[in-house]
Structure formats: structure tokens, C-alpha cells
Amino acid sequence: MASPNGAEDFDNSLLSYEKLDRASPDLWPEQRKSSFFRSPITNSPPKWMAELEIEDIEMLKELGSLTTANLMEKVKGLQNLGYQLGLEESREMTRGKFLNILERPKK
């Protein structure tokens, strides 16, 4: 049977009494404000989104509307498809090797 103070003793055993010296610039560099986070708010779409086609945007909307379980099923399907393509490629490469179509021309 666990003692009532067992959890408290365990929590205390996890505490660290180490004092961190914040004087070292190598360990604790000065915090600088980055212009990356101060970008002006614009109505134009982000650069990465400007290159998307309508089908890509529709696919993003479709994936965004899926539940977690449905999204996991979609990911599993893509993994299975990738695996099947890898097997097919392996068979075709083996076939090409046996047919000597991948040989480099002799000089």
C-alpha cells in the first residue's frame, strides 16, 4: 500500500536546486526583436499560397474538414500507396536489370 506522502516525496525527488547563471551570453543570448514577427498585416495571401492552384486549395479545404479518424485513414491510404509504388518500382528495376536495359553504353 502506498503511503499518503509517497506522491509528495516523488515530486520532491524531481526538483532541481541547480542555480543557473544567466550572466553567460553563450548560454543565455540577448533576446532580440526580430523583424520577422513584426510583419505588417496585409490582405494579400502568403507567398506560399500564391503558388497554389484551385485544385490545391480545394484539397486543403477538404483535408481541413476531415475528422481526426478520417485524416488518419487518409494518411494510412497514402502510406499504403507509397509502399505499393515502391514495390512496383523495385519489380521494374529488377526487370530492367535482367533485360540489360539499364547498362551504360561501352566506350
Which three cell numbers mark 19?
542555480
pLDDT digits (tens, 9 = 90+) for 2-51: 555 677 888 777 777 777 666 666 665 666 555 555 556 667 777 777 78
Q: Where are the domains of the chain?
A: 6-99
Residue 105's region, left for phi above 0, alpha for psi from -120 to 50, else beta, is beta
**Does the pLDDT at position 1 exceed 50?**
no
User: CA 4: distance to chain centroid?
Assistant: 43
- Number of CB atoms found within 10 A of residue 15's CB: 7
Averaged pLDDT for residues 58-83: 94
pTM of the model: 0.47
